[in-house]
Amino acid sequence: MNNGSSMKELSLVILSEDLDKVNETIIGHACLHPFKMDAMDDWAKNLDEFHTESALQEYLSVEKRIDFLCSRINFDLNYSSAVFKKIKNELVKLKTKDVSKQIIDLESQIKSLDDQDSLLDEKISNLKELNNRYSMFEEMLELPKKQSYSILDQFTGKIPSSNLKYLQDNLTRHPHLLIPVKENPPWTVVILYSLKRESISIKKLLEKSNFQQISLDTEFEGSPKDILDKVNNNILMMKKAKSDLVEKRKNLFEHIRKNIVIYGYFFHYNSLLLKAQKFFKKTDKTCVISGWVPNDMLPNLIKDIKNAVNGRCYYEIHNPVDLHRSYTQVPFKFNDNKLIKPFELLVKAYGVPNYSTINPTPFFALTFLLMFGFMFADAGHGLILVLCGLYLMLKKSFKITVRQVGLLLVLCGSSSTFFGVMFGSVFGNEKIIAPVWIYPMRNIDMILKISLFFGIGMISAGIIINVVNFILTRKWSDAIFHKTGLLSGFIYWGLLGLIVKSFVLKHNVPGWLWFLIVGVPIIILFFKAPFEKIIGQGSFQRNEGVFAYLMNTVFEIVEIFMGYIANTFSFIRVGAFALSHVGLFFAVFNLAKMLGEGSFGTIASTIIIILGNILVLVLEGMIVTIQTIRLEYYEFFSKFFPGDGTLYKPLSIQENN
């Protein structure tokens, strides 16, 4: 049974002088998930702590700067134990202060180049804008600055050509000089001179004429032509400066690329040491290290630690069950194979399983693929997903997470292809291949029944896993009386059987059978509290009172009935989406057929089919994914998976371990 790796609690006492060696060994093995001993055992509260917070903050801030540098040079500093081993000796030679200064210097150099670059961009953009504006007035011999007039207002701008007459007519009442400069359909570029004393009324008139001001404010002197020449010269100068910057940046990036690995590992390793020390305790001369280690990795770790300290250490190994540790405290280590590893991402998004409970990832993977493929059954679209997935998977420059998403796409695409072949659908077309199984639209009843039965299967699996989890964690009462425990399961399955017998097979079901299968388990549910009292488990409140207890149980029973009914019918959407895929394409092909009758019909219908396929692939692909995740989380996981476990995170140079 896959229920995560078995863990052992390791408590290690070493001499303070051996701390660095032991730390190095622990980080090298990358298998110890540290915890604070005083959180588990009260006696440890008397021990001192390592005060590493301020030093750690400093290291982390430098690490952030390193991340910034990496992102700027587009370099993925993927910390790995292998690289660390190779360069370990070089790291010893480095001094924190020097490296830190180097990093800050490099960062400020990049930022200074960025500032210069954005300043140049802004200047170029402003100059280009100025160029555009002055181009409109290129034919003018001179454009005096507005402020050079003491009695005149100068308005430079454009108005819709259709409004020019309106403007001219209305200006006759005012002393003015209107110079139409350029026709720039549908605009006319104009300069208007009027008396300053009439500013307000002229501005109103211009506003009514939909006049749009073109500002000609600039530091450049001369005629528009002179200014345009100067602007263009300046743009060229700026561009030259920009290309110089590119060269400078290239050299700087090259320098960073040469050193960033050493710098990165240096700070990453040192901050890791400090992070580890946060969990450790100490006395005057000794250190106490505590953590969870997977059972299979423990002997090697112990051996290497002993070697590192020449046997000068004391350790204890305990089974978490023996120490009555809470199952949420012990970390859960996923041990899925590579094929279903990507599904861990989706499982972790919901939560982490409790230690020693069943790992839901394989179930999740299987049911996710079945539902996705069934709902998005199309061999053509499936193959596209496979190809996209392969691209993401095989491109080595992508991060591991992206590559895992690639594998996810390959698996989902394969499932879609499989069901596409089963349903005879290729890019929505059901005439290319004959279905190996059925045409969904011609077997709607069957599709919906399959969905329903699949849902019943999923819910049943959820109940069984939940019961097993409770047994594994020795919660006997919950195994029987929980809302998704054994009794609820009996009620659910019994009811299903009775409904099928009575309404589907039309058999006469006697009342005593209803009572026996549904009534008796309900009655037993009321004995939860006495049972818990006998075995000494459970959360029954002694002061609750009998009436309150009975009411609680009644509501729980109602909740069980409502919940199971709603959950079961929720799975009908699996069939509904399988049908909607066919339905959507029915609409696409009909539209294509309608357009195909006109001139350029073949081209139009081909375009519609291509666009329809893209739309369905993106839109339906997204909706189906969301719906599948929804069914997994709310209908399946909610039956057995509280998600409040602790994820296994060992001290390791590798971030993704």
Q: Which residues bind other proteins (CB under 8 A)?
A: 140-144, 148-152, 172-181, 191, 193, 195, 197-198, 201, 223
CA distance 346 to 362: 12
Q: Specify the residue, 177 or 626, whose C-beta has the smaller distance to other proteins.
A: 177
Q: Report, in Å, the least distance between residue 193 CB and other proteins.
A: 6
Q: Specify the residue, 169 or 322, whose C-beta has the smaller distance to other proteins.
A: 169
Q: Are 34 and 291 in contact (CB under 8 A)?
A: yes
Q: Specify the residue, 207 or 284, whose C-beta has the smaller distance to other proteins.
A: 207
Q: Specify the residue, 140 or 458, whose C-beta has the smaller distance to other proteins.
A: 140
Q: Report, in Å, the least distance between residue 164 CB and other proteins.
A: 13
For residues 386, 388, 390, 394, the Cα torsion angle rounded to the nearest 10 degrees is -170
Q: Specify the residue, 99 or 192, whose C-beta has the smaller distance to other proteins.
A: 192
Q: Specify the residue, 62 or 181, whose C-beta has the smaller distance to other proteins.
A: 181
Q: Report, in Å, the least distance between residue 224 CB and other proteins.
A: 10
Q: Report, in Å, the least distance between residue 160 CB and other proteins.
A: 19
CA distance 654 to 657: 6
DSSP string, 401-449: HHHHHHHHHHHHHHHHHHHHHHHT-BTTBSSSS--SS--GGG-HHHHHH
Q: CA 303, 309, 312: angle at the middle one, nearest 5?
A: 95
Q: Report, in Å, the least distance between residue 167 CB and other proteins.
A: 13
DSSP string, 116-168: HHHHHHHHHHHHHHHHHHHHTTTT-S----GGG-SSEEEEEEEEEGGGHHHHH
CA distance 515 to 481: 19
Q: Report, in Å, the least distance between residue 153 CB and other proteins.
A: 12
Q: Report, in Å, the least distance between residue 170 CB and other proteins.
A: 10
φ and ψ of 339, to 5 deg? -65, -40
Q: Specify the residue, 175 or 186, whose C-beta has the smaller distance to other proteins.
A: 175
N residues, the chain: 657
Q: Are 498 and 478 in contact (CB under 8 A)?
A: no
Q: Specify the residue, 143 or 358, whose C-beta has the smaller distance to other proteins.
A: 143
Q: Report, in Å, the least distance between residue 120 CB and other proteins.
A: 33
CA distance 215 to 541: 79
Q: Are 529 and 538 in contact (CB under 8 A)?
A: yes
311: region left, alpha or beta (phi > 0 left; psi from -120 to 50 alpha) = left
Pull the structure tokens for residue 224: 């528009």
Q: Report, in Å, the least distance between residue 165 CB and other proteins.
A: 14
Q: Report, in Å, the least distance between residue 226 CB and other proteins.
A: 12
Cα separations in angstroms, 351 against 40, 326, 651: 23, 17, 21
Q: Specify the residue, 194 or 290, whose C-beta has the smaller distance to other proteins.
A: 194
Q: Specify the residue, 176 or 482, whose C-beta has the smaller distance to other proteins.
A: 176
Q: Report, in Å, the least distance between residue 239 CB and other proteins.
A: 32
Q: Report, in Å, the least distance between residue 227 CB and other proteins.
A: 14
CA distance 130 to 216: 8
Single-letter amino acid code for the residue at 335: N
Q: Specify the residue, 195 or 388, whose C-beta has the smaller distance to other proteins.
A: 195
- Chain centre to alpha carbon of residue 153: 59
φ and ψ of 356, to 5 deg? 70, 0
- Give 360's Cβ-side CA count (13 Å radius): 32
φ and ψ of 581, to 5 deg? -60, -45
Pull the structure tokens for residue 27: 């980080």
CA distance 4 to 477: 24
Q: Report, in Å, the least distance between residue 150 CB and other proteins.
A: 6
CA distance 556 to 607: 56
Q: Specify the residue, 96 or 218, whose C-beta has the smaller distance to other proteins.
A: 218
φ and ψ of 140, to 5 deg? -75, 145
Q: Report, in Å, the least distance between residue 113 CB and other proteins.
A: 42
Q: Report, in Å, the least distance between residue 194 CB and other proteins.
A: 9
Q: Specify the residue, 192 or 447, whose C-beta has the smaller distance to other proteins.
A: 192
Q: Specify the residue, 200 or 546, whose C-beta has the smaller distance to other proteins.
A: 200
Q: Which letter, b or e, does each residue of 216-228 get, where b requires 16 or more Cβ atoms within 10 Å of its Cβ?
A: bebeeeeebeebb
DSSP string, 171-232: HTTS-EEEEEEEEETTEEEEEEEEEGGGHHHHHHHHHHTT-EE-----S--S-HHHHHHHHH
Q: Specify the residue, 203 or 282, whose C-beta has the smaller distance to other proteins.
A: 203
